[in-house]
Amino acid sequence: MENIFTTVVAISGITGFLALLLSIANRTIANYGDKKLIINKEKEYIVEGGDNLLSTLNEQDIFIPSACGGKGSCGYCKVKVIEGGGQFLATEKGYVTETERLEGIRLSCQLRVKEDIKIEIPEELFNVKQYEYTVTILEDLTDKIKRVRLELPETLEINYKPGQYIQILTPVYDGNEEVYRAYSITTPPSSKQAIELFIGYVPDGICTTYIHKHLKVNDKLNVVGPFGDFYYREGDKEMVLVAIGTGMAPIMSILRYMNENRIERKATLYFGARTRSDMFMTEELKKLEETMYDFTYINCLSRPTAQCEWKGEVGRVTDLIESYVDNGDNKEAYLCGNPPMIDSVIPILKEKGFADKDIYFDKFD
């Protein structure tokens, strides 16, 4: 018994000593004091040193895209560091190329503000804001995809380009931590007080589980945005639009924008699904074929069953591109879907003569 008591006392003493050291470290080593943050050579902020750059920027209401919530696992939160970023970290290597590293590109969630720092970010990020939306519609489009409509108070509005996305801050629930997740806006930019999203269910996904299993009409959702360089480009080139699953979302925003503004461009949407039950928005797309200047909707099923009673194209969306797209002359492409789809479509388009600069894509997992 005496030995047990002595052991407990010893362990308690060691634990207390380590806690003391940690407390001293937090007050001294980690206390970097106030630092100067200069953005784009002209905007200057005094910030508290020691935190990562992503969080430091958020505290100044400057929001950098970060699908993983700052865990260094998405690679979205890149900024250009001109001065004061410290050493390039091993945790950045998988997401920052050697060329980017030489240009000063860093992951803002990984580097800590330990000294005065100068950075460059796209000017449009100063348009990014945090909003509190009210959920007004939750509708099942398929057994895995929900249409979510979010509305702002009448005094507020959001400005975005057709094809851009927002990030939802998922609240704490069932022991999960807060996380940001990105979802493309489906509505046209004219809808400034209400946006809609297509959110697919991902098993064990923190945000999608919350949306599909816990969220209710009239609930509040914190949203940050808009983000993204995947958006409609003005011009007169023929448009090739390719999507699978919820990749339909930014494409719908683009098509609705074109329809509202009576844009006279030829456009074709190629959409792929597994079975008929995975198809959605078909009725609206057929109406767009009637109302738009020159729009065609072509779809296919990769795994049709007898219950599908499918008489249309069978195969993957890549098969549609092979069959229907003849060449890349005076055309541009907009692709949205998971990485395997994007990575399989791009080579086909290049073989048909599409230039890299005319292929826009949005990959998501």
Task: Give residue-wise pLDDT tens across range 114-128.
Answer: 999 999 999 989 989
- Residue 45 pLDDT exceeds 70: yes
Residue of higher predicted confidence among 18 and 243: 243
Fill in the amino acid letter for 356. D
Q: What is the mean pLDDT of the chain?
A: 90
Residue 85 is encoded by which pair of tokens? 């970023």
What is the pLDDT, as a whole number, of residue 76? 85
Please tell me the least confidently modeled range out of 72-76, 110-114, 274-278. Answer: 72-76
pLDDT for 30? 59
Q: What pLDDT is stored for residue 17 in this prediction?
A: 54
Structural class in CATH, domain 128-227: mainly beta
> What average pLDDT score do residues 248-260 get?
98
pLDDT at 8 over 60: no
Residue 3 reports pLDDT greater than 80: no
Which DSSP helix (H) or strand (E) runs through 105? Answer: strand 105-107
**Which region holds residue 340: left if phi is over 0, alpha if psi is between -120 and 50, else beta?**
alpha
Instruction: For residue 126, give both structure tokens.
Output: 């100063």
Mean pLDDT throughout 260-286?
A: 97
What confidence score (pLDDT) does residue 178 get?
85
Residue 296 has pLDDT above 70, yes or no: yes
pLDDT at 167 over 80: yes
In degrees, rounded to 5, the angle at the alpha carbon of residue 146 between the alpha carbons of residues 144 and 148 is 160
Q: pTM of this prediction?
A: 0.85
**CA atoms within 13 Å, Cβ hemisphere of 224:** 18
User: Across residues 200-214, what is the average pLDDT?
Assistant: 94
Can you give the pLDDT at residue 32?
81
Domains 34-123 and 238-363 share a fold: no
Query: Considering only the top CATH level, what class is 238-363?
Result: alpha beta
**CATH architecture of the domain with residue range 34-123:** Roll (3.10)
**359 pairs with which residues across the strands?**
333
Q: Which residues contact 341 (CB under 8 A, 6 or more apart)?
A: 242, 244, 247, 272, 317, 318, 335
Please report, for the chain, the start and end positions of each structural domain, with discontinuous segments joined by +: 34-123, 128-227, 238-363
